[in-house]
Amino acid sequence: MTASIMVNNDMLDIPETENHVHCISIMGAAGGVGATSLCVQIAHNIAMESQKNTNRKERTKEPRICLIDLDFEGGACSHHLDLAPNMSVSDLTVSTDGIDRAFVSALTSTHSSGIDLIATPNSLGGNDMVNPSTIVSLLDIVSQMYDHIVIDVPRYWRPWNIAAIGASDRFIILTELTIPALHLARMRMNAVEEKLGEHIRAEVIINKFERRSFRNALRQKDAETALNRDITATICIDTDTLRDAINCGEPAGVVRPESRYVKDSRKVYKLLQPEQIKSKRSAA
């Protein structure tokens, strides 16, 4: 992660990792653009990659990838992985002194791929009940425990969401290529960057992208003009894969590992790596 950030008098301080992105946060520009699906699939890609790269002897019991769902009212990561969340909204009201590695370990549920999930069951008004400082402390401990973290950040303007974004190495705004979604993407991008200053720069990714050009359809160039920023990547529309994944309660990478969606999500993860970002920024 890139920086220390002060939220509600709590300092969220995350160690920088040189050779890979440590923490990615993803926010949808609008509801339904595919943010949760992408969080789950990127986490799965990382889990598969680390299984490949770690030989059996070196493999420890310690999990390496954590997926965090910060939506305590309408989150869906647990449904995508068919896991029962082990954390409840009341765990997020405890004093920050009680938050340590043992507390965090007790709150995770583990998917067969090795992804550890931190999420609560949905609870009406859940986002109004939690204690912001508790969440910030939890994020701090999680960042020390895991090699990789993916955060599904809801669109609500709450202090812990801003803290999570500010403490991430990469912040993605996921959008569709429609006028309302691009308006919202621009609004969120400007608001987050204004709030966090030089700590963060949003990477804009277009999901459900159609390569064929239809009459009256927007193009990638239109989005770049509207946002005044290059698009980092596009991810194809792949309705069959995504439908199978959600209906099976498995990441797309499990149900259709060779699908275009999964391949595009792997490309996205590569494009977010430090050397790619460095060369893109120096070219700009």
* Amino acid, res. 115: I
Q: Give the C-alpha separation, 98 to 114, whole Å.
A: 26
Q: Which does 85 bind (CB under 5 to 8 A by kind): Mg ion, ligand ADP, none?
A: none
Enumerate the β-bridge partners of residue 117.
67, 109
What track of x and - describes contact with ligand ADP for positions 208 through 247 (by CB under 6 A)?
Answer: x--------------------------x-xxx--x---x-
> Cα–Cα distance between 32 and 181 in angstroms, integer?
10
Contact set for ligand ADP, span 172-211 (CB under 6 A): 207-208
In terms of CB distance, is 50 or 234 closer to ligand ADP? 234
Backbone angles phi, psi at 238, to 5 degrees: -150, 70
Does the footprint of Mg ion cover residue 36 (CB under 5 A)?
yes
Q: In angstroms, what is the minimal distance from the CB of 32 to Mg ion?
A: 8
Alpha carbons within 13 A on the beta-carbon side of 40 = 27
Among residue numbers 1 through 30, which ones bind ligand ADP (CB under 6 A)? Answer: 28
Q: State which of residues 46, 76, 136, 223 lies at the interface with ligand ADP (CB under 6 A).
A: 76
Angle separating helix axes 35-53 and 260-271, nearest 10 degrees: 80
d(Cα 115, Cα 155) in Å, to the nearest integer?
23
C-alpha to C-alpha distance for 223 and 40, rounded to whole angstroms:
25
Q: Could you give phi then psi for residue 167, rounded to 5 degrees?
A: -95, 0
Please say which residue, 185 or 242, places its beta carbon nearer to ligand ADP.
242
Candidates 35-43, 84-92, 109-117, 156-164: pick the segment binding ligand ADP (CB under 6 A): 35-43
Interaction of residue 207 with Mg ion, rule CB under 5 A: no
Strand-strand pairing, 148-152 and 233-236: unpaired
Dmax of the chain from CA atoms? 58
Q: Which stretch binds Mg ion (CB under 5 A): 29-37, 57-65, 220-228, 259-267?
A: 29-37
**Considering the complex, what minimum distance in angstroms separates the CB of residue 210 from ligand ADP?**
10
Give 36 or 50: the residue with its C-beta nearer to ligand ADP: 36
Residue 32's binding partner among Mg ion, ligand ADP, none (Cβ under 5 to 8 angstroms by kind) is ligand ADP
Query: What is the signed CA dihedral for 143, 262, 35, 227, rounded to 10 degrees?
Result: 100
Rg (Cα) of the chain, in Å, rounded? Answer: 18
* Cβ distance to Mg ion smaller for residue 40 or 139: 40
Q: Which residues bind ligand ADP (CB under 6 A)?
A: 28, 31-37, 76, 207-208, 235, 237-239, 242, 246, 261
Q: Which residues bind Mg ion (CB under 5 A)?
A: 35-36
